[in-house]
Structure 1
Amino acid sequence: MLDLQTAYISRIGRRKRNEDACGYWTSPQGCCWIVSDGAGGHGSGDRAAQIVVSTVLERFSAHPEVSEAHAIGLLEAAQAAVMAEKHANPGGDDMHATAALLLIDAGRREAVWSHVGDTRIYLFRNRELIHQTRDHSLVQSMIDAGYGDAAMIRTHPQRSLLTSAIGNADDLALSVSGAPVAIAPGDAFLICSDGWWEYVDEARMAAELGAGGSATDWLERMAAVVEAHDNHHSDNYTAVAVKAYRAEDEITVLLP
């Protein structure tokens, strides 16, 4: 059995409203964390993100299964809920949202994850990055096709254009981790919106994790990097950190 320490930060930046949403639900049977970044005018972006988070947590709490199929099904349910909201308000804005979902079975020490859009999941082990999700974005597609390198993911003027998102009428393209991934004490997950990872690169994420401390400490050090880049274009930024410990380890859980 693993003990799992959770912390989160979600801040408005320089926008009129926070269109990011996040949440989590834990039980001995299974645990779920979700981050969503909404888009759309007149408040519809924050509504889309809230629908994603509430739908995922309601579905998971009713059936806390940690599996590839469930990780896919939860985001498909979120897609259905957002599309139902859009159909109920046909004159509204074209709201949509990204989503990144992490599921962990602490007893089996296994994790699965799924995502759509450019909200990311990172897994660190021994203070080194061992996995990160790949964005569903125009710039990532360009990089994959050989029309640029990884550096442009944070600088290209069209970096926010998505190739898949919840709320799009076209077929939803989801990515999933596949079979459950074994996790160990000391592993750390970071789930974050683009307003976060655009300014905190992967090397800095690992360096701040290596500085030690709680999940809250890790997030606060990275948030300081985001805030150092504050300008009048600053986006909302949200991150959830999950750190794994042996159940017998003595830890102090700090939540904001």
Structure 2
Amino acid sequence: MLALEVAMLSEMGGRKANEDACGHWHSVDELCCVLADGAGGHGGGGIAARLVVERMLQGFAAHPTTGSRQLTDLVFDTNRAVIDARVPDTERANMFSTVVGLVIDFVGHRVHWAHAGDSRLYWFRQGRLHTRTRDHSLVQSLVDAGLLPPDQARHHPQRSELRSALGTASDVLEVSDSGEPRVVEAGDVFLLCTDGLWEHVPDAVLESTLADSPSPSAWLAALEREITAATRQKTSHDNFTALTVWTAPVPA
């Protein structure tokens, strides 16, 4: 069995409202974490993000998933809920949201995930980046096609253009997942975050701040300081939200 410690951070940044959301729920043997970044204007993004987190966690609580295929099905169910919640001529008329969901079986030492959009999951092992999700975005498509160097993607002017997000018709919605459940080792660290965070914090800085942090909350505080420093000259930078899970052996 693994011991888990969770910490969360969600800030408005330079915006007038926070349209990100995150949350977690656990059963006797699994932890489910969900993070979402809404869009749609007039407050609709915030409604969508909160709906996504609530619907994903409720769905998991009702039927805990044991693999990424089931989690992907839950993402599609949540997508239908976002579409059904739209109301013409209101702030809900055109709402969308990214999503990333992580499930850790802390008894069986297994992990699986699913995501849509450009909110990310990072997995660190022994302090080094082990795995990261790939964005469903125009810029990621350019990188994959060899048309854009990876080091230019973070600040590309079209970086925010998504290929997939909840609120899209199910027949064109793109959801990626982890495939077969993977083995978690004690000491592994997971980070779910919105683009408002990873845009300003390169992978190397994620690793260095993680190495210098004694706890999950201390790490998120360090990441917030990095964003504050990086956006000091920007008047309207994005909301930023993060949820981290640190694993450890259960004390004897």
Q: TM-score range by the shorter chain?
A: over 0.9
1:205 equivalent in structure 2: 206
Given that residues 31 and 64 in structure 1 are in contact (C-alpha distance below 8 angstroms), is that contact kept between their aligned partners in structure 2?
A: no
Number of aligned residue pairs: 247
Corresponding residue SS for 1:154: coil
1:114 equivalent in structure 2: 114
Aligned pairs for 1:128-147 within 5 A: 128-147=128-147
Find the aligned partners of 2:141 and 2:18 in 1 and give their Cα distance: 28
Deviations 1:163-218 (A, max 9, x none): 01000225210000000010011000010000000001111101111114111111
Match status 1:16 vs 2:16: yes
The worse-fitting range, judged by mean Cα deviation, of 171-180 and 209-218 is 209-218
Given that residues 5 and 245 in structure 2 are in contact (C-alpha distance below 8 angstroms), is that contact kept between their aligned partners in structure 1?
A: yes
Q: CA deviation at 1:16?
A: 1.2
Aligned pairs for 1:1-256 within 5 A: 1-86=1-86, 89-92=87-90, 93-169=93-169, 171-230=172-231, 231-248=234-251
Deviations 1:97-132 (A, max 9, x none): 100110011000000011000000000001010100
Matched letter for residue 238 of structure 2: D
Q: CA deviation at 1:29?
A: 2.7
Moved segments of 4+, more than 4 Å: none
> Structure 1: where are the runs of 5+ without partners?
250-256
Q: CA deviation at 1:248?
A: 1.2
Given that residues 142 and 148 in structure 1 are in contact (C-alpha distance below 8 angstroms), is that contact kept between their aligned partners in structure 2?
A: yes
- Given the two structures, how large is their TM-score scaled by the length of structure 1? 0.94
Matched letter for residue 75 of structure 1: V
Find the aligned partners of 2:223 and 2:88 in 1 and give their Cα distance: 40
Given that residues 66 and 104 in structure 1 are in contact (C-alpha distance below 8 angstroms), is that contact kept between their aligned partners in structure 2?
A: no
Q: CA deviation at 1:64?
A: 1.9
Q: CA deviation at 1:26?
A: 1.3
> Structure 2: where are the runs of 5+ without partners?
none
Given that residues 127 and 206 in structure 1 are in contact (C-alpha distance below 8 angstroms), is that contact kept between their aligned partners in structure 2?
A: yes
Find the aligned partners of 2:73 and 2:33 in 1 and give their Cα distance: 15
Given that residues 117 and 165 in structure 1 are in contact (C-alpha distance below 8 angstroms), is that contact kept between their aligned partners in structure 2?
A: yes
Find the aligned partners of 1:165 and 1:68 in 2 and give their Cα distance: 18
Find the aligned partners of 1:66 and 1:240 in 2 and give their Cα distance: 21
Corresponding residue SS for 2:248: strand
Corresponding residue SS for 2:81: helix
Find the aligned partners of 1:74 and 1:127 in 2 and give their Cα distance: 31
Corresponding residue SS for 2:9: strand
Find the aligned partners of 1:99 and 1:207 in 2 and give their Cα distance: 26
